[in-house]
Structure 1
Amino acid sequence: MRAAKFISAATVLALAMAGCSGDGDGGEKKTASAASVPAGLGSFYSQKPSWKDCDNGFQCATVQVPLNYADPSGEKVGLSVIRLPAEDKSNRIGSLLTNPGGPGGSGVDFVRQAARTFGSDLRRRFDIVGFDPRGVAASEPVRCNTGPQLDAFFATDASPDDQRETNTLGTASKEFAQRCKTKAASELPYVGTVNAARDMDVLRAALGDDKLTYYGASYGTYLGAFYAEQFPKNVRALVLDGAVDPQLSSTELLIEQAKGFETALRAFAEDCVKSGGCPLGTTPDAVIAKISSFLSATDRKPLSNNRDSRKVTESLAVMGIARSLYVKEYWPVLRQALTQAMQKSDGTVLLALADEMVEREANGTYSNQTDANMAVNCVDKPNPPDLAAYGKYANEAKKVAPRFGPFVVWGGLPCVYWPTQTKQDPKPLTAKGAAPIVVIGTIRDPATPYKWAQNLAGQLSSGVLLTFNGDGHTAYLQGNACITKATDNYLVTTDPPKDGTTCG
């Protein structure tokens, strides 16, 4: 679940080519009186955002939540919120709150990029709303590392071949954690998913909705499931797309995610061969063997690039490959990137893909996605106690996911040294008493394996499984008419598709 973020086809196309007046309420605001207000939080639940125009038809506001829900009179966090108002005010249902995943993804950026690609019924009848969760982007962001520090961290060999390389990786991970302790110690205990889900109920009330209508992708499904667990009676309709299985441990999640990337790589190899003239091999097995040999060679001798002075290490190459597997529209780009790297020792395109994955700008600056991603993941679940214990899981991952296992699992190593740890073991989330919740799974999803959607739908007392027989990470907004129709109809009417429906 490291940077398992939603990337829509519309966003991919945009990426590949590469306050504020009036309150805007329009008299449509409802009261939140139907839902109970937790003790001591009345002032948060009753706040009315001051919406301001913020370009291109969007409106922006800030909603206050307590840093620590056990001390609501203490320090506060301002959540950055954006909305695209409903087109049909007279038939407006309410707000559709969204989250694009991560953890660490900006919901404000997501809505700016993708709101107008939502189904026409949704745009007509809902305000499409995004927010930056606590610690993310414009909502009191957790910032631990400078650009050069992150460059060094990502270039570190995340598939160590001996104890020396393992110790080097351990040192880099320990330094990452120490920097977060130094720069963000007061925030770290409170940035986890449980608190972010409580923030969503404050947002629901502030938006004027009696019950929550929500679309969450990738990690956003985990956030949505925690919301339903804590506030089952406040659920109107939840779509959880690209589901995360909440009952898995931190290392189990990473191992299963690595296996998902292996499945997606196999699909890419089959597609390359099927399309004809594949420069990587004449059979899927040959393509995968060539990629494996290429990664081993890059481990010995990193690639050059035409963007800057960085060497494209094996770790950066794997990151670039992983980024391309998120959306099928990127497969031709991956084919080009690998051909260029193998034939010319030029890692320019792979590096560009890797930079896109972790939101690194050309000037060497990063968004806070990586810092926030680590901060949330490290406090959400217990972590192995030390480097040796962690290494056993990495070795297990290498056996079942030889190309991606070590990189995905070792990527979570800073959590071993994290200054804030939880002892709360993961468990199934049932959301007993909630209205029907639709869980969407994509059969060859690289970042959130299909069986996670099956598991989450089974755990939720009112879970309904909707399957996309396709490729890429998440299903909605990828252009499949069957998925779009089923999702939009449910969000508008609250009538879910038949459990077990398959599209694609």
Structure 2
Amino acid sequence: MINIPKRLGKVVRKAHRLVRITYAIPFSDSSKAGLSYPTDSPQTNTTSLNWTPCDLDFPPSQQAVIDANGVPIYCATLEVPLDYSNADNKETIQLQLLKIKATNEPSKGSVIFNPGGPGASGVEEVSQKGILYRDVFGGNFDVVGFDARGTGRTMPFACIPSNSTSSTLSRRATNFTIPQADAYSILTSKAWDDAGVFVETCANTEGNADIAQYLSTAFVARDMLNIVDALNEDGLLRFWGRSYSTVLGQTFAAMFPDRVGRILLDSVVRFDDYHSGQWLTANRDTEVALVNFFRECVGAGPEACPLANLTGPSTTPESLHQELGKAFQQLLDEPVILPDSYTPLSQPWWQPGGITLYQELKYWLLVNLYQPAQFPTVYALVDGALKGNGQSVLETLTTTPPSDNATTPEIPWHLGVNAFHGIACSDSPLRADAPEDMYALLRAQAAQGSWSDVFGPQTWACAQWKFDAAERFTGPFTAINTSFPLLMANGAHDPIAPLSGAWETSTNFPGSRLVTHNGHGHGVMNHPSNCTIKAIHDYFNDGTLPEVGTVCEPNQPAYEIALEAAAAASGNNTTEASS
């Protein structure tokens, strides 16, 4: 069994499973380049929203959270065009929206929240956590979530996987502290063929051909403009986007710069990187986040984190980092092939066979570095790897139960289980006829960060995708002057949205400001800071931008949050999931 501190053990067994990495992906000649993004955009929809108490079929676990919050939630639907690129197409769709009202009346308006993905449900997020965001605003704004196209109750996109087999993985170490597998060998030996099977399955799934071209980020931006107008407030967008949804926020700002009221980009993804289909920047800081976990562990001390004494009193975060690199190298040199019956968490669309323990371990370290509350699982995986105990690592991977947020067809908003590919691949112009066409891209990804060998494969299926978005955003990507400056907040130890990318994004929007959130994880509310919260509050309420170069410290060490999560888990049978 895994040897971990008793204070953390129970949380490991409740850690989040089936968590797909949520990140954000110019365009082919086949896109609707003739569509314009007017700077004097008129109102698109004068329909008012009819808010009524929600009567949605939430599963019991989610309903329990809503009931425990004790705050009324309201629902509405909004009819919008199916195809913005074709005025002759009169078909429409219904967007599902959910609202938590401001506590202070009259409300100053509405803030639309979207949790990212692409593929995460705004209805789900706001139904459970809307009060958290409402309170950040001081109770002065309504918080509105919506299911974007392809997700939840709005044209959910799903594929049925195949059961065919494929060959084993190949590997090669690189010069990063944490080594990488040879991504090109993975592509040629397994992933290209598996992606072809998955893509064909998606193309042949009934109904997908009817909706796939209408799932684009540009169309969702136009949907948001319709929501803004249907709210009948001041005609300006107030938006909090996290992760991929920062791409959505940037896209809206570039398409409709005069309609920007307040836009907060939380954990920023470069939208030119997403819209190019290259996904180069995602893993720049994954090792930075890993080293920060080790720093938090050493700071907490051996009693709370025994790894802090791995080599005695001289143990440092850097020495732990080096030792883990050696453990990964051994898994590359002496690969452990998982049973064909094992369903890969890293790439659930891959065919059975040839999945290595290295790959699964590395992927799970990445997704569990997303928030301090998941440190217990990080600890268990690192501890097993450092001790060369592959069995304990495998037990962590196979015995951790699915979270309440697991992507299962029984949960209505997760009928769009393949929304990530449905949206991102249709948005992407990158296509390839053979693995050789991908070689340069894989080399470029590998040069950016040592986790690209487990993150990059998520996007490889896009190269063979059968659907193209009816509208792909083609820019501008720089010198975008909005009617009000954007605010950005990015963690200094974010495993999937590097701080450097946030600075690069800020240069594209003159007048924007970036708060460096010196906390851990992906999403600033996962490691709260009163300083960051105040900056967000003042921005939405008063239009006040933080001082240039503002750095906000978290309220407490990240490892304290992990210990608190462990204590809470030991006293109840549920944990809170986060996208």
Which TM class, normalised by the smaller chain length?
0.7 to 0.9
Alignment of 1:14-413 (within 5 A): 16=15, 37=42, 41=44, 44-54=45-55, 56=67, 57-71=72-86, 73-90=89-106, 92-118=107-133, 120=135, 122=137, 124-146=139-161, 166-183=188-205, 184-210=208-234, 211-248=236-273, 254-274=279-299, 275-276=301-302, 277-278=306-307, 282=315, 283-293=319-329, 295-296=331-332, 299-302=335-338, 313-340=357-384, 342-343=388-389, 345-346=391-392, 347-351=394-398, 359-361=406-408, 367-368=414-415, 370-386=417-433, 387-402=435-450, 404-413=451-460
**In the superposition, relative to structure 1, how do residues 251 and 63 fare at CA in structure 2: closer, same or farther (>3 Å)?**
closer
Cα distance in 2, alignment partners of residues 212 and 440 from structure 1: 18
* More moved, 332-341 vs 134-143: 332-341
Cα distance in 2, alignment partners of residues 429 and 113 from structure 1: 36
Cα distance in 2, alignment partners of residues 485 and 109 from structure 1: 25
**In the superposition, relative to structure 1, how do residues 249 and 207 fare at CA in structure 2: closer, same or farther (>3 Å)?**
closer
How much does 1:415 deviate?
A: 0.7
Classify the secondary structure of the residue corresponding to 1:367. helix
How much does 1:427 deviate?
A: 5.1
**1:490 counterpart = 2:539:** yes
* More moved, 381-390 vs 62-71: 381-390
Residue in 2 that maps onto 1:451: 500
How much does 1:203 deviate?
A: 0.9
**In the superposition, relative to structure 1, how do residues 13 and 475 fare at CA in structure 2: closer, same or farther (>3 Å)?**
farther
Q: TM-score, normalised by structure 2?
A: 0.71
Report the AA paired with residue 53 of structure 1: C
Cα distance in 1, alignment partners of residues 140 and 453 from structure 2: 46
Classify the secondary structure of the residue corresponding to 1:89. coil
Which structure exhibits the higher relative contact order, with contacts defined as CA atoms closer than 8 Å and separated by 6 or more residues? 2
**In the superposition, relative to structure 1, how do residues 17 and 116 fare at CA in structure 2: closer, same or farther (>3 Å)?**
farther
Q: Indicate the structure with greater helix content.
A: 1
Residue in 2 that maps onto 1:29: none
**In the superposition, relative to structure 1, how do residues 69 and 160 fare at CA in structure 2: closer, same or farther (>3 Å)?**
same
**In the superposition, relative to structure 1, how do residues 77 and 117 fare at CA in structure 2: closer, same or farther (>3 Å)?**
same
2:260–2:482 CA contact under 8 A, matched in 1: no
Q: TM-score, normalised by structure 1?
A: 0.81
How much does 1:456 deviate?
A: 1.4
How much does 1:222 deviate?
A: 0.9
Cα distance in 1, alignment partners of residues 281 and 363 from structure 2: 17
Question: Structure 1: where are the runs of 5+ without partners?
Answer: 1-11, 19-34
Cα distance in 1, alignment partners of residues 329 and 262 from structure 2: 47
How much does 1:450 deviate?
A: 0.6
**In the superposition, relative to structure 1, how do residues 124 and 330 fare at CA in structure 2: closer, same or farther (>3 Å)?**
same
How much does 1:292 deviate?
A: 1.2
1:106–1:137 CA contact under 8 A, matched in 2: yes
* More moved, 477-486 vs 388-397: 388-397
- Out of 437, 441, 455, the residue aligned to residue 486 of structure 2 is 437
2:121–2:148 CA contact under 8 A, matched in 1: yes
Residue in 2 that maps onto 1:21: none
How much does 1:284 deviate?
A: 2.8
Cα distance in 2, alignment partners of residues 477 and 126 from structure 1: 21
How much does 1:409 deviate?
A: 1.6
Q: How many residues align?
A: 468
Report the AA paired with residue 182 of structure 1: N
Cα distance in 2, alignment partners of residues 230 and 493 from structure 1: 25
**In the superposition, relative to structure 1, how do residues 368 and 265 fare at CA in structure 2: closer, same or farther (>3 Å)?**
farther
Cα distance in 2, alignment partners of residues 368 and 267 from structure 1: 36
2:491–2:523 CA contact under 8 A, matched in 1: yes
How much does 1:259 deviate?
A: 2.4
Cα distance in 2, alignment partners of residues 478 and 304 from structure 1: 38
How much does 1:112 deviate?
A: 1.9
How much does 1:377 deviate?
A: 1.4
TM-superposition CA deviations, 1:164-209 (whole Å, max 9, x none): 8624211111122222222311212221111111111111112222
2:371–2:522 CA contact under 8 A, matched in 1: yes
1:134–1:196 CA contact under 8 A, matched in 2: yes
**In the superposition, relative to structure 1, how do residues 305 and 173 fare at CA in structure 2: closer, same or farther (>3 Å)?**
closer
Classify the secondary structure of the residue corresponding to 2:501. helix
Cα distance in 1, alignment partners of residues 544 and 447 from structure 2: 43
Identity of aligned residues (%): 22
Question: Structure 2: where are the runs of 5+ without partners?
Answer: 1-10, 18-39, 56-65, 172-180, 346-351, 554-579
Report the AA paired with residue 502 of structure 2: A
**1:461 counterpart = 2:507:** no
Report the AA paired with residue 301 of structure 1: I
2:283–2:498 CA contact under 8 A, matched in 1: no
Report the AA paired with residue 213 of structure 2: P
Residue in 2 that maps onto 1:6: none
Cα distance in 2, alignment partners of residues 435 and 13 from structure 1: 44
**In the superposition, relative to structure 1, how do residues 262 and 427 fare at CA in structure 2: closer, same or farther (>3 Å)?**
farther
TM-superposition CA deviations, 1:106-160 (whole Å, max 9, x none): 11111122112226362521111111101111111011235x76x989x988956
Classify the secondary structure of the residue corresponding to 1:124. coil
